[in-house]
Structures are given as structure tokens and as C-alpha cells.
Chains A and B, each alone.
Chain A
Amino acid sequence: MALYIVEADCISCGDCEPVCPTQSITEGPVVFKIDKRTCTECEGDFDVPQCVKVCPIDNCILPLEA
């Protein structure tokens, strides 16, 4: 389980990067990206994913299917 950032919607504001408890978010060459190997969807740290909470764009950070 992990989240991903929709490339077409991300505005590269960077708000999500510092709030990630597992440091899974980094700035990629195009937009910010989430490392699916370390993303926990904040389980164990917070009730809701912190990046989704701070992201100013609706439906920009979504759960990765499969």
C-alpha cells in the first residue's frame, strides 16, 4: 500500500515533502513523487495521510492500485 502523486495535477508547491513521516516524498525531475517502497499511507503515525491533508489540489494524491 502506498500513495502516488498525479503528475498532471501536481503544481510542485512542495507542501507535502516536509510532512511525510517516512521521508518518502522527494522532488522529481517533473513534479514531486512518492517512493512506493517506503510510503505507509501514514499508518502507525497519523490517522490520515499527511500529504493528502496538506495538498492544495483535490485528487492529486491517490492510493496506488494493486
Chain B
Amino acid sequence: MSQNALSRELALRIALAARALPNTDSKRLLAVLSDCVEAPMTESKIATIALETFRQADGGALAQVDSTVLQQALKILSNTAPEKILPATQAYQDGDLPNSVRIACASDDAIHVNGHFGACAWFMVYQVNAEEARLIGIRTAEIPEGLVVDDKNVYRAEQIQDCKVLYVASVGGPAAAKIVRLGIHPMKLDEVASLAGIISQLQTVMAGSPPPWLAKAMGIDAGERFKFGQEAVG
């Protein structure tokens, strides 16, 4: 069957489901799915795949995979609304978390920081202090139909303008400059990391001696900051 026959929605969900499965890329999952349903592949047919059929398809390609993981993958594949695969956001009001910063993470699967700034599916927005982290928003930066914007990257950055730090898997140079101009500190990761891992790493830094710019973002006064000997400016 032709891959072109897939709807954009379904193609996205196959890609997301493949990420949820170990050692499986979209191509391999597509082979498994082709074995489960008759061509042409449609969303309604995919939604009816049973767990055991899925496990044994394509010569048992997924036979070793844990049932809960397979179920999660099937759930991603069958949901009609992509929102359903996203975690729930938590309530937050200003002042709930003292000395906290707001951060955004570019993600394509809501599990890892694996998004490219200019193309990621979502910005996962967290309010983080040394003790606690809350997921307070999941924002897409898709430009609404009909809206004309001068610069796509500026528009995307404006969606997370309230954040102090942005974690991305990749970002271009000119785009990074536009992000900085809006007062957001972009952090490009050397390798893909989980959202939870990035947050706990940030919390470790916040609990220790944060760099001055981060301390400022946390709202800690200069006087309270840990001083490194006699390093006066000038």
C-alpha cells in the first residue's frame, strides 16, 4: 500500500506510537500495522486492532514488548483527538511556587525534549522551583488559519514569552537570536532527554547555587545570592 494514502492525522499518530515502542521506528510500525489490517489503512480500521493481533503481527515483531506499552501504543493509534495522549495540566496561580521559574520544553511526544524549535508539536510549559514542578500548559505554536504573521519563529517564541528558559533538541541560529530578544534563555540539549530528567536537573541547579541570571529569574535578591569571594564588578 502507498504511504501517501495515510491521512496526516494518522501518520502523526503512527509516528507518536512508534516513539512509545522500544526499538521501533515509524517504518517498522507501519509494516506491523499493514499486517494487522487490510489496505487501505484507515483510522477506523486501526482503532479495531486487538492487543494480541498487534503483538503477533508481522512475524511477532512486537512479541517481546510489555503489554502495557503495547496498550499505550494502541491507545495513541486509536484516539481521535491528539489531546487525549497528552498529560493533564495542573492548576497554578501566581505565588503558588515561591522562587520558581517558568520553562518551556519543545516536544513531539509529550515525554521527551525532542522537538525542533521551529517544528515541534508542543511546548510543554512548567512552573518549577527547587522542590516542585507543575505542568501548567501545553501550547501548540501552529499559526491559526487566516492569521498572517511576519515571522513564524517570532510568532512561535511569542507563544512562550512568559517563560524564562526554553529547552529544545535543536534550534537555528537566527531563531535562537529572536528567542533571546524576547527574554527567553534557549538551551539546546546535546542529546534527547526526558522532560522529567530535564526538570530534575534544573531543580538540582536551583537548589544549589544557580548562575546569577537564573537567580534573578527566580526572584532572589542580589544580597541573598551566594557570593564567590571578592569578585566585584569592574
Report the interface size class on chain A. 20 to 34
- Tell me if B233 and A6 are in contact (CB < 8 A): yes
Q: Using a CB-CB cutoff of 8 Å, which residues 1-51 of chain A contact chain B? A: 2, 4-12, 28-31, 33-34, 36
- How many A-B contacts if CB must be within 8 Å? 39
Contact between B211 and A33 (Cβ–Cβ < 8 Å)? no
**Given the known A-B contacts A56-B177, A56-B180, A57-B180, are A8 and B213 also in contact in the complex, defined by CB atoms under 8 Å?**
yes
Of B177, B211, B222, B229, the residue contacting A11 (CB under 8 A) is B211
Give chain A residues whose Cβ lies under 8 Å from the Cβ of B234. 2, 4, 34, 36, 64
Closest to A66 in B: B234
Q: How far is the CA of A41 from the CA of B162 in the complex (A)?
A: 34
User: Is B152 in contact with chain A by the CB < 8 A criterion?
Assistant: no
CB atoms of B212 and A8 under 8 A apart: yes
Is the pair A11, B213 in contact by a Cβ cutoff of 8 Å? yes
Chain A binding site: helix, strand, loop or mixed by DSSP? loop
In the assembled complex, the Cα of A8 lies from the Cα of B211 at a distance in Å of 8
Indicate whether B216 reaches chain A with its CB closer than 8 angstroms.
yes
Judge whether B231 is part of the interface by a CB distance below 8 angstroms: yes
Closest Cβ of chain B to A25, distance in Å, is: 13
In the assembled complex, the Cα of A9 lies from the Cα of B233 at a distance in Å of 12
In the complex the two chains form, what is the Cα distance from A24 to B222 in whole Å?
25
The chain B residue with its CB closest to the CB of A6 is: B233
**Distance, CA A8 to CA B228, complexed state (A):** 13
Does B75 reach chain A (CB closer than 8 Å)? no
Instruction: List chain B residues, Cβ under 8 A from A29.
Output: 228-229, 231
**A10 in contact with B231 (CB, 8 Å):** no
Q: Are B212 and A31 in contact (CB-based, < 8 A)? A: yes
B185 in the interface, Cβ–Cβ < 8 Å? yes
Binary contact track B210-234/A, C-beta < 8 Å → 1, others 0: 0111011000001000001101011
The smallest beta-carbon distance between B200 and chain A, in angstroms, is 22
- Which residues in B have their C-beta under 8 angstroms from that of A12? 211
Expressed in whole angstroms, the minimum distance between the Cβ of A53 and any Cβ of chain B is 13
Q: Which residues of B contact A (CB under 8 A)?
A: 177, 180, 185, 211-213, 215-216, 222, 228-229, 231, 233-234
